[in-house]
């Protein structure tokens, strides 16, 4: 089943939900600010996305700028930062089987559904 990591306050995330609804396919919504992914889950997501952990970070978030920007961080430290501050996780993330994309732009979702 398709899974979308969603933040309702994000317009791109809401667009992702709308696109999935229009597709008619079943999907599961994960409100990741409430149900924070574990380090293991984030590692799996990053592997599916085929990106480095830093590429999943929202670098314009206040917490990133104040606590992490300009520091040398290991991949493990970046993942821990996202678990401890889930606002840092880029969204929406859509997973379908062994494929995943960050839905920016929204049309990228079409590549995997």
**Contact 1/27 with Cβ under 8 angstroms?**
yes
Cβ partners under 8 Å of residue 65, min gap 6: 59
Mean pLDDT by 10-residue block, N- to C-terminus, for the chain (113 residues)?
A: 96 96 96 97 98 98 96 97 98 97 96 94
Domain at 39, CATH number: 3.40.30.10
**CA gap 21, 77 in Å, rounded:** 35
Is 10 known to be catalytic? yes
| Domain interval for residue 47 | 2-111
Kind and range of the H or E element at 65?
helix 62-67
pLDDT of 16 reads 97
Quote the distance between the C-alpha of residue 5 and its chain's center.
6
List 2, 5, 6, 10, catalytic entry: 10
Does the model's pTM come out above 0.85?
Answer: yes
**CA gap 78, 42 in Å, rounded:** 10
Q: Angle 94-45-63 (CA atoms, 0-180°, nearest 5)?
A: 95
Domain count, the chain: 1
């Amino acid at each position: 089943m398709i899974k979308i990591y969603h933040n309702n306050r994000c317009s791109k995330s809401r667009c992702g939900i709308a696109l999935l609804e229009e597709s008619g396919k079943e999907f599961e919504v994960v409100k990741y600010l409430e149900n924070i992914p574990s380090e293991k889950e984030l590692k799996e997501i990053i592997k599916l996305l085929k990106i480095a952990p830093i590429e999943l970070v929202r670098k314009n978030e206040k917490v990133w700028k104040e606590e992490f920007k300009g520091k040398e961080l290991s991949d493990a430290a970046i993942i821990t930062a996202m678990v401890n501050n889930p606002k840092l996780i880029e969204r929406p993330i859509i997973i379908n089987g062994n494929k995943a994309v960050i839905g920016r732009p929204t049309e990228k979702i079409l590549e995997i559904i």
